[in-house]
Amino acid sequence: MLKNKFVLILLILLLAFVLRTYALTAVPPGLTHDEANHGREALDILDGVLLFYFPLNYGSEPLYSYTAAGSMLLFGKSLFSLRLVNVVFGVLAIGATYLWVQRAFDRRSALLTAVLLAVSFWPLAAGRQALRAGMLPFFMVGAVWYFWQIAAPPGEKQPHKTAWGAAVGFGVCVAITLHIYLAARVAWLIFPLFIIYLAVAHRDRFRQAWRPALLGLGVAGVLVVPMFTFLQRNPQAQTRLTMLDGPLQQLSSGNLQPIWDNASEALLAFVWPGYGDMFLAYNIPGRPVFDGVTAVFFLVGLGVAAW
């Protein structure tokens, strides 16, 4: 009976792995500049260049390149080894998401989620390219998994015997995300925001969760001190930030239009054709995050959640 319980998810993970490894070095063809830079960084690491933050890609977090270097050490210096990193973490992210959704909701929802992640365009594309953002979902889901053990409804059985062990796991996962990709500097805010929501709407869960959550964020803060100390002393390493802060600079000057345009276009990019990423290297130009069918379910789901 136990074996039968895992057959479907194992088949889904196998499908995800096959879709991500088939003709891996040929599709997409060639290397984007970002992939080439990660490859260069990985080769430099193998030659003994060990940094907290890498100067290529206008400055990039280090973990993907270190992991790619390990892949090259095991499987050889090749495009296959470089892209294999996100194949592995993409499949692991599906498995981790399945486990969390099954715990937070039910097994049917978890299986449906896993299938969609296995075959949908964006997870599949991210799993076939050597881009550091492709590592992020696995560790973000890991953070959610541990956080849920802290903030779940009272009485729900959790894998960790104490919330403090889950808090440490939560903090480690958050810290790892901050060593992967710039977007993690904003993504972690969902956790304190959820704690604030619990304080307003679910006081019993708030009283249960806030101390372990604070501990977890403290653990994350300690673990990222070396990298951010380096960046504070070497601000020129973060060239990317100066390329992205234009709307914020305009906002500080009292001009709301650029930030409004960015926000509205980003929201439309979830469901509306023509507003998706236009860069051919990473997307079918203009393709939204969700296709026609999943966009409907996404919007209905938002309505149900709001209701």
pLDDT at 163: 85
Query: Torsions phi, psi of 158, nearest 5?
Result: -120, 150
Q: How far apart are the first and last CA of the chain?
A: 38
Sequence-separated (6 or more) residues with CB below 8 Å from residue 281: 28, 32
* Confidence band, pLDDT 50/70/90 cuts, at residue 160: low
Residue-averaged pLDDT of the chain: 93
Contact 227, 63 (CB under 8 A): no
pLDDT at 89: 99
Cα–Cα distance measured from residue 115 to residue 117, given in angstroms and rounded to the nearest whole number: 5
pLDDT at 5: 76
Cα–Cα distance measured from residue 141 to residue 99, given in angstroms and rounded to the nearest whole number: 10
pLDDT at 241: 76
At 40, which amino acid appears? R
**DSSP label at residue 160:** S
pLDDT, tens digit, for every residue of 130-156? Answer: 999 999 999 999 999 999 999 988 766
Owner of token pair 């390990």? 70
Enumerate the β-bridge partners of residue 54. 60
pLDDT, tens digit, for every residue of 251-285? Answer: 778 888 888 998 999 999 999 999 999 988 889 99
Contact 86, 112 (CB under 8 A): no
Residue 16 has pLDDT above 90, yes or no: yes
